Amino acid sequence: MKRLPRVGYLMLLPFFLAFTVFIIYPVINTFTTSFTNDSLTSLNPAHFVGIANYQNELASSLFWKTFFNTWAIWLPNIILQMALALFVAAVMTNYQIRLKGKGLFRAVIFFPNIVTVTTIAILVYALFDWQSGAINQLLFGSNTSKYINWFSHGYWAQLVISGVQTWMWFGFTAIMLISGIQSMPKDYFEAAVLDGASDSKIFFGIVLPIIRPVMVYIMITSLIGGMNMFDLPWVLFSNTGGPDQGAMTMSVYMYSRAFTWDQNLGAGSAVAWIVFAIIGVFTLAYLRVTYGKENAEETMK
């Protein structure tokens, strides 16, 4: 009996090894690098520079521009995404509607989530091409004078990326919400119906409060993903950030700082930790607003 735990530890070893190599070590390495002048353009060893990288980045106007860009892309996306997902979840779980082909519908709305970002970027280029793209033709028909050059202004580029993110993720969010609603005891619905509650009363009075933990989970994971948004802006605009640098997110900035521009690994690492702190602050703030101070701290633990 006494030998069993040792075998158990042995079985866990591959995971801990991988976790140490791929998570713990990079995190510690990034932290220590952020206090150095380590650079990819130099073959000289790195030197300790204290908190200079943090000071420089926090004083950089471009960093704060990327901060606001990231929010400008994420915020409309999460609002629209949540609204769409809630609507879909409400419709698909409504026992009165009895929608046919739910499985197929679920697969269809989930589909954008499994398509690679590069494929989506090609689609975006084709759909949003201002002269021949389907979006302008759909919006303005043959009135070509009204066609919008979607990649000519920062706000249009942000809107496009935000919209694409919504399209990619609302299906996933809807499925999470559907699972949350379906896990609720049916008695609640039946009691509410017997008491004569309307659909909207049931939704806002019963469903929403009960699925709040699911929504909180979605919001926090989306916040983390949103603040780390890299792939689509990068594939569309590379390290330039596109028109007006409007599509340069914090992660694009971080990567460009470390690997593209002056290849300053120290500065890039500092940005990574600043982004981590920003995510931490906003997550805590959101939890406090949602659950109150004590519960928020409990949830964070």
Partner 1 sequence: MKFHLPKRVLTLGLVGLWLGSALSFGQWAQGRTLTIMTFSDEFKTNGVIADFEKLTGAHVDLRVVPNEQYMNKLIPLLRTHRDVPDIFVGEAGYIKEVVNLGQSVDLGAAPYYASTVNQYPYAAEMGRDRQGVLRALTWQTTPGGLFFRRSIALKVFGTDDPIQVGKHFSTWSKFIESGKILARHGYYLLPEAGDLGSVFFANKKEPYFDANHNWHLDPIIKKYFEVAKALRAGNMDMKLSDWSAPWMDQMNTPPGKAKVFAYLWPTWGLFFVLSTQKESLGDWGICHTPLNWYWGGTWLNIYKNSPNKDLAWAFISMMTQNEPYMEKLALRTGDFSSDKVVVKTIMDHFNNGDPAGVLGGHRNHNKIFAETADKIDASGVSSEDRVINQVVGSVLDDYLNNKFPNVDAAMKEITTRVQQMYPDMNY
**One of 31, 91, 106, 153 touching partner 1 (CB under 8 A):** 153
How many Å apart are CA 246 and CA 236, to the nearest integer? 12
**Binders of partner 1 in range 160-219 (CB under 8 A):** none
Number of H helices, E strands in the chain: 16, 0
Minimum CB distance to partner 1 smaller for 43 or for 138:
43
Q: Which of 56, 94, 113, 221 binds partner 1 (CB under 8 A)?
A: 56
Q: How far is the CB of 225 from partner 1 (least distance, A)?
A: 24
Buried b (16+ CB within 10 A) or exposed e, 50-74: eeebbebbeeeeebebbbebbbbbb
Is residue 238 a contact residue for partner 1 (CB under 8 A)? yes
Mark 240-269 with x for binding to partner 1 (rule: CB under 8 A) and - for no binding.
Answer: xxxxxx----------x--xxxxxx-----
**Ramachandran sector of residue 244 (left: φ over 0; alpha: ψ -120 to 50; beta: rest):** left
Q: Does 34 bind partner 1 (CB under 8 A)?
A: no
Partnered with residue 48 across adjacent β-strands are 36
Instruction: Give 61 or 142: the residue with its C-beta nearer to partner 1.
Output: 61
Which stretch, 15-23, 54-62, 73-81, 169-177, contacts partner 1 (CB under 8 A)? Answer: 54-62
Q: State the binding string over 83-112 for partner 1 (x if CB under 8 A, else -).
A: ------------------------------
DSSP 28-81: HHHHHHTTB--BTT--SPP-B-TTHHHHHHHT-HHHHHHHHHHHHHHHHHHHHH
- Interaction between residue 52 and partner 1 (CB under 8 A): no
Query: How far from 86 is each of 2, 94, 179, 203, CA to CA, in Å?
Result: 51, 12, 12, 10
Which parts of this chain interact with partner 1 (CB under 8 A)?
A: 40-41, 43, 56, 60-62, 125-126, 129-132, 149, 151-153, 238-245, 256, 259-264
